[in-house]
Amino acid sequence: MRLRPLPLPAHAYRSEESTLLISSRSLLSPCSALPPFALSDSPQRTAAGRQLTPRDEICDASCQEKIHCPSYRLGGCSLSGHYGSMRGAAAIILIRGGLHMPYRAIPEELEQWCEQVKLDTETAYLSYGTDEPWKQSGMSGPEQRWKVLRKPLADAVEHSGSFLDIGCANGYLLESVIEWTNERGIAIDPYGLDISEKLIELAKERLPAYADHFYVGNAFAWIPERQFDYVATMLDIIPEKYEEEYIHFLLEHHVAPQGKLLLLKTGAYEEPEVWLHRRLDRYGIIHGRILNGYDPFNNRQTSVAVIHREER
């Protein structure tokens, strides 16, 4: 599969001076430990005629194909012609206010699919008012249904810590998880990621004390600056051909060493639990317990598989 550089998202800071390229040949130390970046005085060229520095570490600053993040040692370089799998894909570093925001490259078809999901989600979620916030977070029906089918995520939280919701929409799930875990004396530090700028703005308004904990980004490409004790993601709409790699991507880059990945699947009675068992067995991923919630009125079930990073 040929990977190409991920174009800078619309919300990105676009200053040429604030986007860096580091290639994969010399596995550099993390960004925080790197010396100041500067262009080499003696550039070389690739077989394609593109200008690179002697050790292929820093690219010509005018190049638009800025694709690699040294913090995460991701392989692949469109300039040199070296491409890896998505697990070893290249990434962009976006620098905003001195903070590194790396993105890895993803296939064009996946990027286009994500953009369509963004448009469809915004159209659907934003058609509802704020008086029923669960509907702006993907759940139809009454609030009780929301609680039954989403509380298993909170039940999977066993101790206080950071909690990242991937596809957080308007932030209502994070607000709910805060409430549900507080009932058991557990405090989470909420974080959210969503591809929609509009939904992220709603999340910031909902949880203003955590406004700087929300990020706009593509879940398949965004690499966080830090890792989290709990990472929650819904698998319902993830394309099957990218599913296994997506799970490993989250385990490697998002979940803290002693953390847990919470995989949520919905469907008719018993179907999600069976699906999770079979799919994770196929991928050879060891998981812990599976928690369930069931709404008999609509015969809908939510199942949450808990994956311990150190046991996978």
Q: Which amino acid is at 289?
A: R
- In this structure, are residues 174 and 207 in contact, taking their beta carbons and an 8 Å threshold? yes
Q: What is the pLDDT of residues 3-27, one digit of tens each?
A: 333 333 333 333 332 333 333 322 2
Q: What is the pLDDT of residues 28-44, one digit of tens each?
A: 223 333 323 222 333 33
pLDDT at 278 over 70: yes
pLDDT at 273 over 90: yes
Q: How far is CA 5 from CA 48, 69, 135, 199, in A?
A: 16, 12, 35, 26
Q: What is the pLDDT of residues 88-105, one digit of tens each?
A: 344 444 444 444 457 899
Q: What is the pLDDT of residues 51-100, one digit of tens each?
A: 433 333 333 333 333 333 332 223 333 333 333 334 434 444 444 444 44
| Joined tokens for residue 302 | 């939510």
% of the chain residues with pLDDT over 70: 67
Mean per-residue pLDDT over the chain, rounded: 76
Q: Residue for token digits 């385990």?
A: 251
Q: What is the pLDDT of residues 138-192, one digit of tens each?
A: 998 899 999 999 999 999 999 999 999 999 999 999 999 999 999 999 999 999 9
What's the average model confidence in pLDDT over 251-276? 97
Q: Residue for token digits 């989403």?
A: 150
Global pTM reads: 0.72
* Domains of the chain (ranges, CATH numbers): 1-105 (no CATH), 113-311 (3.40.50.150)
**pLDDT band, residue 220 (cuts 50/70/90):** very high
* Distance, first Cα to last Cα, the chain: 26
Surface-to-core class of residue 47, CB atoms within 10 Å of its CB (0-12 exposed, 13-18 middle, 19+ buried) = exposed
- In this structure, are residues 175 and 203 in contact, taking their beta carbons and an 8 Å threshold? no
| Joined tokens for residue 77 | 């370089």
Q: Evaluate the CA torsion angle 225, 13, 216, 236 in order and state its sign.
A: negative
pLDDT confidence of residue 247 = 98
